[in-house]
Structure 1
Amino acid sequence: MEQWQPETLPLFATPEWVKVMGVFDLETTGVDVANDRIVTAHVGLLDASGSVIRARDWLADPGIPIPDGAAAIHGISTEVARRDGAPAATVVEEVVCAVRELLDAGIPVVAYNAPYDFSLLKHEAIRHGVPAILDPFPVIDPLVVDKAYDRWRRGKRTLSVVAAHYAVRLDGAHQASADAVAAGRVAQALAERFAAWLPDDARELHTRQIAWARAQAASLTEYFVSIGRLDADERLDGSWPIR
Structure 2
Amino acid sequence: MINSTVPWYEGAWLGFDTETTGVWVKRDRIATASLIWREGGDNRVHNWIINPGVPMPPQASAVNGLTDDYLAQNGEQPAGALEKIASELASAMSRGIPAVGFNVSFDFQILEAELARNGLPTVQERLGGALAPIIDPLVLDRALDRYRRGKRRLAAVCAVYGLGEDRDFHHAEADVAATLDLLSAMVDRFEELRAMTLTELQQFQRDSHRIWAESFNEFMKQKHGNFHPAPVTWPVP
Using the TM superposition, give the Cα deviation of residue 102 of structure 1 relative to its aligned residue in structure 2, in angstroms: 1.3
Q: Which runs of no fewer than 5 residues in structure 2 stay unpaired? A: 1-5, 125-129
Using the TM superposition, give the Cα deviation of residue 53 of structure 1 relative to its aligned residue in structure 2, in angstroms: 2.2
| Corresponding residue SS for 2:180 | helix
Using the TM superposition, give the Cα deviation of residue 17 of structure 1 relative to its aligned residue in structure 2, in angstroms: 1.7
Structure-to-structure mapping, 1:123-142, within 5 angstroms? 123-134=113-124, 135-142=130-137
Specify the alignment match of 1:178 in structure 2. Answer: 174
1:150 corresponds, among 138, 145, 154, to: 145
Deviations 1:17-67 (A, max 9, x none): 22221100000000001111000000111235xx44211000000011111
Q: Which runs of no fewer than 5 residues in structure 1 stay unpaired? A: 1-14
2:8 corresponds, among 12, 17, 39, to: 17
Contact 1:22-1:110 at 8 Å conserved across structures: yes
The structure that is helix-richer by fraction is 2
| Correspondence 1:119 to 2:109 | yes
Q: Which runs of 4+ in 1 moved over 3 A?
A: 196-200
Question: TM-score if structure 2 supplies the norm length?
Answer: 0.89
| Corresponding residue SS for 1:61 | coil
| Correspondence 1:90 to 2:80 | yes
Contact 2:9-2:194 at 8 Å conserved across structures: no
The residue type equivalent to 1:154 in the other structure is R
Structure-to-structure mapping, 1:59-70, within 5 angstroms? 59-70=49-60
State the alpha-carbon separation in 1 of the partners of residues 24 and 195 from structure 2.
33
Sequence identity, in percent? 33
Q: Which moved more, 1:222-231 or 1:103-112?
A: 222-231
Question: TM-score if structure 1 supplies the norm length?
Answer: 0.87
The residue type equivalent to 2:177 in the other structure is V
What root-mean-square deviation, in Å, do the aligned CA atoms of Structure 1 and Structure 2 show? Answer: 1.7
Using the TM superposition, give the Cα deviation of residue 235 of structure 1 relative to its aligned residue in structure 2, in angstroms: 4.1
The residue type equivalent to 2:234 in the other structure is W
